[in-house]
Structure 1
Amino acid sequence: MKQIILFTLSALAIPVLSHAQAGQPVRFGLKAGASLSSIAGKGTNDYPVSPLAGGVGGMFATVPLGTSQRWFLQPELLYSQQGFSLSHPATNYNASFRSDYLKLPVLLGFTRKGFFAAVGPQVGYLVRVRNTYRFPDYSQTGGASQDIIVKVSNDLRYYQRWEFSAVAAVGYRWQCGAGIELRYSDTFFNQSHDNLTSNYGYPQAHSLSGQVQASYVLPWH
């Protein structure tokens, strides 16, 4: 884990340091938000899945490109939750499959009069998997019974740890440094490899996510 954190911090630092040496006004900021994620692809129509709510947060650096400073490069380091849920009405069975990632997007953006848009690739590293299962207690023979809830933190050895995706974002930033944005990401391909999978029960599906993020550019650079 320490090696992964050092790697991501180094990847963030390379464009920042190179432009700082060139005298460009690099700005740093923090962000947090909510996400709604699911999976799509082969097999998901057999047992329909539903979106799962989660959170996202982290830090970023904005590096202006060119003298006009309308174009910018924005590397980020985020902790992001994603996954999906499913239910079986006939048996009252429900389950949610949540995966936590460290993510490193590197976005190329354009800004004008406060509005901005950005696109770019994103690398994710799986750090935690938590599955929750909920089903009726069939041992109760009469009257209303409480559901049984089972929470499992899965062994990551059976999961594909790396994820590669594309990101697109649009938003607005005020002069005070506060900003709001809508973001969409989609993995390039399914996350299974050598019988490992990040989409439990759907090894040929790919992840997709929509996010609302609030951010703030720090007053120093």
Structure 2
Amino acid sequence: MKTVSLFALGLLAAPVLSQAQTGQPVRFGLKAGATLSTIVGPGTSGDPKVSPLVGGMGGVFATVPLGAAQRWFLQPELLYSQQGYRLSHPATEYDARFRSDYLKLPLLLGIARGGFFAAVGPQAGYLVQVRNTYHSQQVSPAGVPLGPTETINTDLRYYRRWEFSAVAAVGYRWHCGAGLELRYSDTFFSQSHDGLSSNYGYPNAHSLSGQIQASYLLPWH
């Protein structure tokens, strides 16, 4: 966690250093939104069925103009983001939700024109917690249904704590500072650690996620 804090401080310090060098205004902002994520890879197309999971996100960011025209910009961010996936098997009434909470540290390079903008870049994520919820129908040895059961697992031992991904985003920002953005990210490798399967038997699966973000650039003086 100490490494995450130092990295985050470095990202937030970058705009200040850039402003000192270019003389251009650096602006800070807030954002929040929703995430739709899942996993893809070998075996995920069979039973039980893998489907997307909805989560939330929020955080802070800075925009650093690059060059006199200020069309290009650098955007470091510090976000708290949920992602995961869902498993279901209707025949057995089995349902599971695998939710992971991350601190995300994107560093994006973007271009803006007439309010529209696009950005790409790398993203590091640090896994803060997991909450895996399992629902199933309990049956007696004689085959008599006993009712649904719920089990919750928050064990982090089988997960990689760091995640690295690529990010692409497009959006529009109004003159008042409000913005709306669509974002896509794809991880570089599985969450599983040391060959152990944290993805319900899918050790080679990796995460995909899409987000819709609403943001606001704070006034600059």
What TM-score do you get using the length of structure 2 for normalisation? 0.91
Q: Which runs of 5 or more structure 1 residues have no equivalent in the other structure?
A: none
Kindly report which structure 2 residues correspond to 1:146-165, keeping only aligned pairs within 5 A, or say none.
146-154=147-155, 156-165=156-165
- The answer (yes or no) to whether the contact 1:131–1:152 under 8 Å persists in 2 is yes
- The answer (yes or no) to whether the contact 1:8–1:77 under 8 Å persists in 2 is yes
In the TM superposition, what is the alpha-carbon distance from 1:53 to its structure 2 partner? 0.3
> Hey, what's the Cα distance between the residues in 2 that align with 1:201 and 1:11?
36
Whichever residue aligns with residue 151 of structure 1, its letter is I
- Alignment partner, residue 118 of structure 1: 119
Kindly report which structure 2 residues correspond to 1:1-221, keeping only aligned pairs within 5 A, or say none.
1-13=1-13, 15-22=14-21, 23-47=23-47, 48-139=49-140, 146-154=147-155, 156-196=156-196, 199-220=199-220
Whichever residue aligns with residue 166 of structure 1, its letter is A
Q: Which runs of 5 or more structure 2 residues have no equivalent in the other structure?
A: none
Let me know the Cα RMSD of the aligned residues. Answer: 2.1
Give deviations 1:24-47, integer Å, cap 9, x for gaps. 200000000001000001121233
In the TM superposition, what is the alpha-carbon distance from 1:17 to its structure 2 partner? 2.0
Question: Which moves more between the two structures, 33-42 or 197-206?
Answer: 197-206
In the TM superposition, what is the alpha-carbon distance from 1:144 to its structure 2 partner? 8.8
What TM-score do you get using the length of structure 1 for normalisation? 0.91
Whichever residue aligns with residue 20 of structure 1, its letter is Q
> Hey, what's the Cα distance between the residues in 1 that align with 2:119 and 2:188?
18
- The answer (yes or no) to whether the contact 1:61–1:76 under 8 Å persists in 2 is yes
Q: Cα distance 1:196–1:160, how it changes in 2: closer, same or farther (>3 A)?
A: farther
> Hey, what's the Cα distance between the residues in 2 that align with 1:92 and 1:59?
41
In the TM superposition, what is the alpha-carbon distance from 1:207 to its structure 2 partner? 0.3
Q: Cα distance 1:58–1:92, how it changes in 2: closer, same or farther (>3 A)?
A: same
- The answer (yes or no) to whether the contact 2:139–2:145 under 8 Å persists in 1 is no
> Hey, what's the Cα distance between the residues in 2 that align with 1:166 and 1:197?
23
> Hey, what's the Cα distance between the residues in 1 that align with 2:169 and 2:2?
29
Whichever residue aligns with residue 74 of structure 2, its letter is L
- The answer (yes or no) to whether the contact 2:137–2:145 under 8 Å persists in 1 is no
In the TM superposition, what is the alpha-carbon distance from 1:197 to its structure 2 partner? 5.5
Count residues in correspondence.
219
In the TM superposition, what is the alpha-carbon distance from 1:21 to its structure 2 partner? 1.1
- The answer (yes or no) to whether the contact 1:160–1:198 under 8 Å persists in 2 is no
> Hey, what's the Cα distance between the residues in 1 that align with 2:134 and 2:122?
33
Whichever residue aligns with residue 159 of structure 2, its letter is Y
Aligned-pair identity (%): 70
In the TM superposition, what is the alpha-carbon distance from 1:202 to its structure 2 partner? 1.4
> Hey, what's the Cα distance between the residues in 2 that align with 1:60 and 1:76?
4
